[in-house]
Amino acid sequence: MTGMSSSIEGASHVRMLLGSLGQGHVPVVAGAHTPLGPFRNIADVSPGAAQYMRGVRNGLASPELPWRGDRFECAAEDGAADADAAARALIAATDRFGPCTLLTLGPLSNIALAERIRPGWLGNLSSLVVMGGSLRSPGDAPGGAEWNFYLDSQAAHEVLAAAPPSTLLVPTDVANDRAFDAAAREALLGAFADGSTHPVSQACGALLRIDPGAGRYDPLAAACLVAPESLLSTNGAAPRLAVSSDASSGVLREVVGGRPLGVVTSIDIPAYHRVLREGLVETEDEFDRFTRFIKSEQEAIVSSLEASDGVAAFTCDAWRREDGSGEGRMCVLEDGAAWEKAGVGVSISSGELTDARAKAMSARGRPVSPGTRYKVLE
């Protein structure tokens, strides 16, 4: 969604970051170009915003990154001409993968558009985490609103009105100076063990040099998603409050008689710092990296076969054992123009070797003991 930069710029920026992570195959779709409500140019409202964005662009256009400032204006191929493209991509993702958890870090235009295109779509999400609004103290946007809700006040109003009961709202006033102090900044930077060489770490470092407060909000929302039980309260749940965002101003308020949502009103700050250091960084061994590669290849094969057929689409079913010992995803295409039937499956299982299996493996020249942990990818 166009805000401090255009949606086209934002899509190009995300492609750069994904490419630096070796994840260039992940589809990126440019969001809505204008808000559902009144258009508000943030540079006009806040003269410092344009200067800030110039600093962000220059900071990210470092020689180590596969991106330059002169490419920032390039058009994003996916959805550049279609304002609804991102909304339709969200709907397609839930159609393919089933109920999803959605984390929003900006204006809610695309979410509201998806709900308009398919009424009830929000209610089918497994959970929704929204970073936006300012509840206990005035926000820093005009009228005391917060920027995400202010930039598309109509979208914020519609999304909160249709949000599922499992929604978790993370108002930005929770991310106060105490929550994101020097210790939190150190924890965030320290989470990147290879910060001197990895492109994304360089990007984070550039942003923190431009603005010491950068990273104040987004990491908190992500932390509330991945570790609510340690951040929010003793029972891992946020207070349930009936709230509404004004459709004209974007100001967030408690209301009487509304449908309650989870609203973060305070966090355990030491626990938040621990999550920044440990919980937001994925530690992978060689098997995990190979598993991630195979999953991405499965999606690439599915997309390629669908494109070559031109008519039929895959139906995908994901499964996971309750005890965490296995997961998988099977995709099947039937009655296509080019393919009568095609299947692409991935299965991962883990556990401990039984006496019989350990004995059989040892007999093949590789001694292993019963109880040894194993992982199998098929």
Host H or E run for residue 351: strand 341-352
CATH 3.40.250.10 fits 7-279, yes or no: no
pLDDT tens track for 155-189: 999 999 999 888 888 888 887 656 666 776 676 66
Q: Look at 364 and 76; give whichever has higher pLDDT.
A: 364
| Farthest CA pair distance, the chain | 75
Q: Are residues 76 and 12 in contact, defined by beta-carbon separation less than 8 angstroms?
A: yes
Q: What is the pLDDT of residue 315?
A: 87
Across the range 228-257, mean pLDDT stands at 78
Lowest mean pLDDT among 161-170, 218-227, 246-255, 332-341: 218-227
CA distance 113 to 250: 17
Please give the span between the terminal C-alpha atoms of the chain, in angstroms, as a whole number.
Answer: 39
Going by C-beta distance under 8 Å and a sequence separation of 6 or more, which residues neighbour residue 168?
127, 128, 129, 130, 224, 225, 228, 238, 261, 262, 263, 264
Contact 221, 129 (CB under 8 A): yes
Rounded CA-CA distance 165/243 in Å is 12
The secondary structure element, H or E, covering residue 240 is strand 240-245
Q: What is the domain partition of the chain in residue ranges?
A: 7-279, 286-377
Least confident range from 24-28, 61-65, 120-124, 280-284: namely 61-65
Residue 154: pLDDT band with limits 50, 70, 90: very high
Quick one: average pLDDT of 247-256?
88
d(CA 276, CA 218): 11
d(CA 373, CA 369): 10
Question: What is the average pLDDT value for the chain, to the nearest integer?
Answer: 75
